[in-house]
Chain A
Amino acid sequence: MKFSVMVSEGPYTHQASDSAYQFIRAALAAGHEIFRIFFYHDGVNNGTRLTTPPQDDRHIVNRWSELATEHELDLVLCVAAAQRRGIVDPDEAKRNGKDGDNIAPGFRISGLGQLIEAGIESDRLLVFGD
């Protein structure tokens, strides 16, 4: 089965990122395909590599990056939501005259159409949010 997931809350405030991650791991373990993970609203904060949690806590951002590498996942941050919240890739940083970028490895920034496409192309779409 082909799944896509939308994550609507930021890490560390709400359990949504953790729930989405655990669901996706379980789906992959059961042999299912993950078409796309789309981060929206404060969910885009899952994709900043500047995140520095204490050593004894889980690193939610790195955990996504590692899962993406391991399973070739498509992690997409909504561009409009990301810009509002200061998450930029090198291209966006240049375009908007910012002095740096902060997107984490394995993530890419793209438009809301990617969410609609995920709905069209997947057998199931789940939303993890508040």
Chain B
Amino acid sequence: MLHTVNKSPFESSSLKTCLSFAKSGSDVLLIEDGVYGGLSGSAHTSWVAEALGDVRVYALEPDLKARGLSGDRLIPGIEAVGYDGFVELACANDKIQNWL
């Protein structure tokens, strides 16, 4: 299953809820303000990094760039992808849960 999260972990528990729901082997894509959840060196980094063994986490690169961030600010193991990568993730997973 593909999960998307579009909220910053600093204002919403969406990412935390998502990661506690996501089964091992799921894909989680951070989009919009959700990309802040992928930052290394933040107050939320440790629990996000902990989830990386179980689920694959991606961050939408155009949303990072728009916020003055780049892939090298992400927690190691989180991959930056473009909209084409978003489409590929949506195809590769048989269902999608958008955590709104």
B87 / chain A contacts, CB cutoff of 8 Å: 23, 26-27, 30, 32
B86 / chain A contacts, CB cutoff of 8 Å: 23, 26
A126 & B32 in contact (Cβ 8 Å cutoff): no
Contact of A19 among B32, B84, B96 (CB under 8 A): B32
Chain B binding surface SS class: helix
Chain B contacts with A in 48-90, Cβ cutoff 8 A: 62-63, 82-84, 86-88, 90
A57 / chain B contacts, CB cutoff of 8 Å: none
A127 at the B interface (CB under 8 A): yes
B81 to chain A, nearest CB (A): 11
B6 / chain A contacts, CB cutoff of 8 Å: 15-16, 19, 130
In the complex, which of the residues A25, A124, A129 has the most CB atoms of chain B within 10 Å of its own CB atom?
A124
Top 5 closest pairs, chain A to chain B, by CB: A26-B83, A127-B98, A129-B100, A15-B32, A26-B87
Interface residues of B (CB under 8 A from A): 4, 6, 31-33, 62-63, 82-84, 86-88, 90-91, 95-96, 98, 100
Interface residues of A (CB under 8 A from B): 1, 3, 8, 15-16, 19, 22-23, 25-27, 29-30, 32, 124-130
